[in-house]
Amino acid sequence: MVTRTGGCLCGALRYEVSGEPLRVGLCHCADCRKESGSSFTTFAVWPTRAFKSSGEVKVFGGRGFCPACGSRLFNPGEEETEIRVGSLDDAPASLVPEYEIWVIRRETWLQPLAVPQYPRDRDQSAEGAG
């Protein structure tokens, strides 16, 4: 079974995930932009039972980060945990996005990936929250 490790910039917060993710996506929403300082966020979701971490975690709005350096790493959940793939120790070349969400906010200079496209979240209609 594959085990991937990751952590924050300063090394105080570490995590590992076992097995393959349930899904991999790319998000263009305003929250992901603000929390990452980037135009989009690439994430992968594992069952929470496949995830473990060490070190102090602070959580704001469901988003886990290192209180020492501020690195944004994961969204811990009861059933699933979402990992920011950029926080993995090894380049996540095998974790290719399978869908894009919040494409209504995608930068016009970014080309869509050849994967399913969702105007907002996968479980919201095009008339949902913005």
Tens digits of pLDDT across the chain (130 residues): 899 999 999 999 999 999 999 999 999 999 999 988 899 999 999 999 999 999 999 999 999 999 999 999 999 999 999 999 999 999 888 999 999 999 999 999 999 999 999 999 988 644 433 3
Task: Supply the DSSP string of the chain, one letter for each residue.
Answer: --EEEEE-SSSSSEEEEES--SEEEEE--HHHHHHHTSS-EEEEEEEGGGEEEES--EEETTEEE-TTT--EEEE--SSEEEEEGGGBSS--TT---SEEE-GGGS-TTSPPPSS-B-SS-TTS-TTS--
> Rounded to two decimals, what is the model's pTM?
0.88
Q: Which sequence spans correspond to the domains of the chain?
A: 3-105
Looking at 3.20.20.370, 2.60.40.10, 1.10.3720.10, 2.170.150.70, the CATH number of the domain 3-105 comes to: 2.170.150.70
